[in-house]
Structure 1
């Protein structure tokens, strides 16, 4: 295949086939790993769906870049990669957000400034807003580019979505740090009593898998955050800005950051690291089950019907 070095393309650099093929292989294996863990455990459906959607976007995006290697003057490959690789990490961020409330349950909700369920209620809607803005802007910019119209409006909407994602991630990081500080402060003051003393929680906190997951989640969060900051800077000057023409920065801050985020969560998957909490406290249906059980007990006792300890545990 011929390469016209002196003719401007959508990239203004020669796309590296080895680098993009490696990322395509990594994300394909990551997709299979997330699907396999769910198939084996049947736990963490919300987390799995979010991660699979995010990794699928990464796969499609790198397919677009491989298409561009074959012909980087062709529009389709460029549009595929810029849209899919822009919105993919928003799904990955949603998976990260879903994990925090379970971590709070593992240490005890009393260590959190807000109820554990509110982490999901706050951050998931924010992530949806970010995703909608990015997808809408990407779609508008793609249509405009295809019609040879200005792409500034769509690009600005994409930047707004990315900026909102950066803000959401920053607030999430602050909440994580706040929870860690509060838990540490209470532990220094109260000792072991500061944390949940349930046998399952004690065993979980002492496991190396759970500790490894905490580190992995921190790395994934930082990776997605750093990548999002980079993409805001990259797109801030439009599709012809100076950062758009730096393949080295793209590989380092887009490819490597997201690959690390996915791989560490493949290795320290929450369904493997704290499966005790995936269906129990912190699980999706736990609060409803607890409320229903309390209502049953209250109704029985209101009718002067004693409820044995065995029955309470079964509820």
Structure 2
């Protein structure tokens, strides 16, 4: 019966939809605005400081998050909406991949600034290897989404598509975990050589505080994206 449902009716109750409930309007509206504002901020800051690659990664990631939550809002009004479901599942699965790319870029520049000699991996390779793995993850997830989307009512094909998506997400989790281990190893190795609480002797107190804020933001972003990927 659910194959022919397009809206909530007595024959097509919300319990039979993919999620089985009405997505929360308030929460999804909040995150739509939140990520939309972050996306605008990323575009403005990226253009001002001319960090074009970082702008592209974070801009795409944040705007895709916003678009995904728009899909959730649409599903609040009609949980049977196929276009809304596809919009939110596509955007919310792929968006963290672009945000992770921004994390790798930031980590590379932190290592270059503090001291590449403390890193087991050449800083230039952080972007090549981990963003390359991100691209592989995107391809896997997109391929899985395509298979599931083309499956129609073929449950075996739908399951195959979902399994490919899960494989892509698992690959991303593994990639981020390895990156996190390398970053932690770098921090421990470099920390032994810090002087006066600053990673560089020529660093002023003001710049040192800004660097700590940068560290904190990097760790927070990494942790939340990793948790998000594991949850997905």
> Scaled by the length of structure 1, what TM-score is found?
0.65
**SS of aligned partner of 2:16:** coil
* Residue equivalent to 2:149: 142
Q: How does 1:53-92 map to 2 (within 5 A)?
A: 53-92=60-99
Residues 4-30 of structure 1, C-alpha deviation per residue, up to 9 Å, x if partnerless?
656522220122111111111111111
Question: What's the counterpart of residue 157 of structure 1?
Answer: 164
Q: CA deviation at 1:206?
A: 3.8
Query: Are 1:58 and 1:84, in contact at CA under 8 Å, matched by a contact in 2?
Result: yes
- What stretches of structure 2 of length at least 5 have no aligned partner? 1-6
Q: Is the 8 A contact 1:134 1:162 kept in 2?
A: yes
Q: Which residue of 2 aligns with 1:178?
A: 185
Q: Is the 8 A contact 1:54 1:92 kept in 2?
A: yes
Equivalent residue, structure 2, for 1:122: 129
Unaligned runs of 5+ in 1: 232-315
For residues 274-295 of structure 1, give each alpha carbon's deviation from its aligned partner in whole angstroms, at most 9, with x where no partner exists.
Answer: xxxxxxxxxxxxxxxxxxxxxx
Deviations 1:24-54 (A, max 9, x none): 1111111111011123222x21111001111
1:205–1:211 Cα contact (<8 Å) kept: no
**Aligned-partner Cα distance in 1 for 2:92–2:108:** 28
CA 1:203–1:45: 2 relative to 1, 3 Å:
farther
RMSD: 2.2
Runs of 4+ in 1 over 4 A off after TM superposition: 1-7, 194-197
Bigger relative contact order (CA 8 A; separation at least 6): 1
Instruction: Please report the TM-score for the alignment, with normalisation by the length of structure 2.
Output: 0.87
User: Distance in 1 between the 2:133 and 2:124 partners?
Assistant: 15
Which has the larger Rg?
1
Aligned 1:4-19 pairs, distance under 5 A: 7-19=15-27
Deviation of 1:2 (Å): 7.1
